[in-house]
Amino acid sequence: MNGPYIKDLNNSKKIFRNILISLIPLLIYKLFLTGINGLILLLVSSITTLTTNILIEYIKNTNKNYIYSIIMGIIIFLVMPSNTPFMLIFLTNIISMIIFKFVNFINPIAISSFITYIFFIVTKNEFILPEYNIYILIGISIIILIYLIINNAIKFRISLAFLLINLLGFIMNLELNGLYLIIVFGLFVIPELFSTPNLAMSQILCGLILGILSILLPIEYFILSIIIINFLNKYIDLNIAIYLAN
């Protein structure tokens, strides 16, 4: 057995638990705004991600990582329009979890939300987002961000870079994608662990690029760009790593 013989007290479970805790304020706020319909949507979303995950892991006979699939289910609920049909969230979550379990560098939340937003566009339905109080939303977001940074739980550099670009966009009076979506995407969707780069420099780059794209593109294309960038992340990370190592 080789060292080190002491280890940091942090572990994967604690990291996932911190993400879960950080989701609570926004989750409660969205449930408060969307009522019973929201609660059903949340249950459908998280139960689908969890059961799909259990089934796939059973078939693949791999490590059981249930808590992360529940996290995915909750974030998908936060991103989805309040009027998303239950069947749609059920199906998109199954598709995204299957893809994620086999190609884990693609953001499952982005897949689910991309299909959903395209559905709204194709069916010419208007999607409804919660009518939030701007001060409460900003307050909640600041608390979450501080909590995540203190606990070093997410790749916070991506979030910071993304939110900073959007703040600049706001100051420059550019048309943004709506504060609610910016916050949910910035805090929880784009820094998703498995689909993002590892190096600090690539994380900042990723956050900046996605921040710019979120200003330039309508929501559905912005989500598509997240998926496309997922494919580039490994390449960017590897090249920056080679540059730094030499």
Residues that bind other proteins (CB under 8 A): 1-12, 14-15, 62-63, 65, 152, 155, 193-194, 196-200, 203, 237-238, 241-242, 244-246
> Distance between CA atoms of 203 and 217, rounded to whole angstroms?
21
- How many residues are present in the chain? 246
Please confirm whether the linkage preceding 4 is cis (ω < 30° from 0): yes
User: In the complex with other proteins, which residue's Cβ is closer, 59 or 87?
Assistant: 59
User: In the complex with other proteins, which residue's Cβ is closer, 225 or 230?
Assistant: 230
Find the shortest distance in angstroms from Cβ 14 to other proteins: 7
> Distance between CA atoms of 243 and 226, rounded to whole angstroms?
25
User: In the complex with other proteins, which residue's Cβ is closer, 123 or 246?
Assistant: 246
Find the shortest distance in angstroms from Cβ 51 to other proteins: 20
Find the shortest distance in angstroms from Cβ 204 to other proteins: 11
User: In the complex with other proteins, which residue's Cβ is closer, 34 or 52?
Assistant: 52
Find the shortest distance in angstroms from Cβ 69 to other proteins: 13
Q: Which residues, including other chains, have CB under 8 Å from residue 226's CB and lie 6 or more apart?
A: 107, 110, 189, 190, 210
Find the shortest distance in angstroms from Cβ 230 to other proteins: 12
User: In the complex with other proteins, which residue's Cβ is closer, 34 or 49?
Assistant: 49
